[in-house]
C-alpha cells in the first residue's frame, strides 16, 4: 500500500501547488456568494450539472478529480503517486485533498461549486471547520442519485477534454463535431479509468462505502438535496428550483 502523505511527499506537494501562498493571500469570498458541493458516483453527471450552474449562477466549479488528473501528469514523485491512486480508483489522503481545496477556495471570489469533495464524513468535518473559520459555510449539498446500471452505460460513452476537464457524452451531450472539443477544437479522449470495467466497479464500490455515511452527515445538518431524475435536463430543473429558493432567502 503506497502512502501518499509523509514528509517527502508533502514537500513535493508544496512545490507543485505552491501551498505557501495560502498563508499570505488576503483574498476574501463574499458571504452572499452561492456555495455548494455536488456528490455523485462516476458517470452521474456532476460535470454536466456543474457547467449549467456555472452558466446560470456564475459559480466557479472546483473539480478535485480534474486537479488530481492534472497532478498525475506531472513528472514528479508526487505525480506518480497520484497517477497510481487515480488509475486504481482509490481515495486520496485527507491531508492532500484539504490542501487542494484550500488553495482553490481562496482563489475564488464569486461563489463556488465543489465537485468530488468531500467524500467521507471525516473530510466533511474538516471542510466545515475550514469554512466556518472563514465565515463561508455551505449553502447546499446536491446528491445525484443514479442507478448503477445507468452509470455503467453512461461511462462507456463519456469523452473529456483533458486540458479543461469539459465532459461530453455521445448520446446525452455530444460535441458539435464528433471527437472534438467545442471550445478549443482539440481532440477529446476517454479516461483510462473509464475504459476498464473492473476499475470502474472498484470506483463504484469505493464510492458507496464512503459516500452513504457522508449523505447521512449532511442530511442531519439539513443541507442535503437528492436528485433522482432519469435525465440531466429534468434533474437540472429540480436543482434550479432549490438553488433559486436558497438565493432568495440569503
pLDDT tens by residue, 16-45 = 344 333 333 334 344 468 999 999 988 888
CA distance 189 to 98: 28
pTM greater than the 0.75 cutoff: no
pLDDT tier for residue 124 given thresholds of 50, 70 and 90: very high
Residue 182: count of CB within 10 angstroms of its CB: 13
Check if the beta carbon of residue 175 is closer than 8 Å to that of residue 186.
no
Cell of 224: 442535503
Cell of 32: 452572499
| Share above pLDDT 90 across residues of the chain, in percent, rounded to a whole number | 30
Of residues 230 and 164, more confidence is placed in 164
pLDDT digits (tens, 9 = 90+) for 185-235: 999 998 876 777 777 788 888 888 888 999 999 999 999 999 987 678 889
Q: Could you give the count of Cα atoms lying within 13 Å of 19 in the half-sphere of its Cβ?
A: 15
CA distance 107 to 250: 22
| Beta strand 167-169 pairing with 158-160 | antiparallel
User: Average per-residue pLDDT in the chain?
Assistant: 80
CA distance 38 to 142: 5
Cell of 249: 432567502
| pLDDT at residue 180 is higher than 80 | yes
Active site residues: 46, 119, 158, 191, 203
Question: Residue 121: phi, psi to the nearest 5?
Answer: -60, -35
Domains (ranges, CATH) in the chain? Answer: 33-248 (3.40.50.300)
Return left, alpha or beta for 76; rule: phi > 0 is left, psi -120 to 50 is alpha, else beta.
beta
Amino acid at each position: 500500500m503506497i502512502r501518499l502523505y509523509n514528509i517527502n511527499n508533502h514537500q513535493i506537494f508544496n512545490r507543485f501547488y505552491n501551498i505557501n501562498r495560502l498563508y499570505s493571500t488576503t483574498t476574501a469570498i463574499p458571504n452572499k456568494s452561492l456555495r455548494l458541493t455536488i456528490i455523485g458516483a462516476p458517470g452521474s453527471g456532476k460535470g454536466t450539472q456543474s457547467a449549467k450552474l456555472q452558466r446560470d449562477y456564475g459559480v466557479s466549479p472546483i473539480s478535485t478529480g480534474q486537479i488530481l488528473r492534472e497532478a498525475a501528469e506531472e513528472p514528479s514523485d508526487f505525480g506518480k503517486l497520484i497517477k497510481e491512486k487515480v488509475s486504481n480508483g482509490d481515495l486520496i489522503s485527507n491531508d492532500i485533498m484539504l490542501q487542494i481545496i484550500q488553495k482553490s477556495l481562496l482563489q475564488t471570489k464569486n461563489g463556488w461549486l465543489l465537485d468530488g469533495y468531500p467524500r467521507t464524513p471525516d473530510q466533511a468535518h474538516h471542510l466545515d471547520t475550514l469554512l466556518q473559520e472563514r465565515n463561508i459555510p455551505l449553502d447546499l449539498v446536491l446528491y445525484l442519485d443514479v442507478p448503477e446500471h445507468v452509470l455503467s452505460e453512461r461511462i462507456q460513452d463519456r469523452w473529456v477534454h483533458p486540458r479543461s476537464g469539459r465532459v461530453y457524452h455521445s448520446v446525452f451531450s455530444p460535441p458539435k463535431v464528433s471527437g472534438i472539443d467545442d471550445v478549443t477544437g482539440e481532440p477529446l479522449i476517454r479516461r483510462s479509468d473509464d475504459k476498464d470495467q473492473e476499475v470502474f466497479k472498484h470506483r463504484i464500490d469505493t464510492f458507496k462505502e464512503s459516500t452513504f455515511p457522508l449523505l447521512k452527515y449532511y442530511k442531519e445538518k439539513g443541507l442535503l438535496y437528492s436528485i433522482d431524475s432519469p435525465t440531466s435536463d429534468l434533474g437540472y430543473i429540480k436543482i434550479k428550483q432549490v438553488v433559486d429558493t436558497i438565493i432568495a432567502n440569503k
